[in-house]
Amino acid sequence: MVEVPEEDGFGFELDQDSLADSMGLKLPSRSLGVITAEVGGGKSLLCQRLTFGLLENNAKVVYVTNELTTRGWIEQMHSIGYWVTDHIKSGKLLVMSTFGSVADRVEGVVLDDLIQSDALKVADVIIIDSFSELSKDVSASLILSKLRRFCSKGHTVILTCDPEQMDKNFIQQLRATSEVALDLETAIIGGAMSRTIVVTRYLRAAGPLQSTIGWRVEPGMGFIVDITAVS
């Protein structure tokens, strides 16, 4: 394992899987990450795995979900074996939802509302799932400028993007300026769903990088790397 100063990255290693060993060991600090996939591609599942790994390695995380209530997100984490209650109680994890805690969507939430909040200012890593709701009717150059300024203050930001819901040129601009760009692909092979992480870009990696990483999620066990599909 490569030893890297803590300020250069945030570890996300877990004993139960080898994702970190296949994907750079750490998320680079002061960086922007973009995870791209269509609906059902596994964006949220990968983000949840990264979140739990970051928490277990003592990072402070804010998770913004535009798809679930805070309660629903926590329940989903627990269903795949990622118990986050203690991390929430300790203040290491804050879950924010545009649906609130039950089911009423909070309208009008924009990127400025997030990056100006006190909670995000003290977080190491901020995950926004998905970014499509926060990027509507705002110029790409303005958003990129704000994100870059925010990351430069010591934060790592991970965005999930659905090419069916966002302007493809905008997504390409995000990917071009990001330190980490991951594409999630799915296929039906022999009647079973096959999932693959394609590591398109990963700057300042602290360890080995595989170009493709096969994976699946099992109830109660969480994220599992398919070692036969890692290359």
Q: Is residue 157 part of a domain?
A: yes
For range 21-26, the mean pLDDT: 95
Does position 105 have pLDDT exceeding 80, yes or no?
Answer: no
For range 21-46, the mean pLDDT: 94
For range 114-131, the mean pLDDT: 89
Q: Is residue 92 part of a domain?
A: yes
What CATH number should be reported for the domain holding residue 37? 3.40.50.300
Three-state SS across the chain?
A: CCCCCHHHEEECCCCCCCHHHHECCEEECCCEEEEECCCCCCHHHHHHHHHHHHHHCCCCEEEEECCCCHHHHHHHHHHCCCCCHHHHHHCCEEEEECCCCCCCCCCCCCHHHHHCCHHHHCCCEEEEECCHHHCCCCCHHHHHHHHHHHHCCCCEEEEEECCCCCCHHHHHHHHHHCCEEEEEEEEEECCEEEEEEEEEEECCCCCCECCEEEEEEECCCEEEEEHHHCC
Q: Is residue 112 part of a domain?
A: yes
Q: Is residue 229 part of a domain?
A: no
Reported as a pLDDT band with limits 50, 70 and 90, residue 54 is very high
Q: Which of 50, 80, 37 is nearest to 175 (CA)?
A: 37
Number of folded domains that form the chain: 1
- Number of other CB atoms surrounding residue 126 within 10 Å: 23
Q: Is residue 189 part of a domain?
A: no
For range 139-153, the mean pLDDT: 89
For range 49-70, the mean pLDDT: 94
Q: Is residue 223 part of a domain?
A: no
- Domain coverage including residue 80: 28-182
Q: Is residue 204 part of a domain?
A: no
Q: Is residue 210 part of a domain?
A: no
Reported as a pLDDT band with limits 50, 70 and 90, residue 2 is very low
For range 10-31, the mean pLDDT: 95
For range 16-37, the mean pLDDT: 95
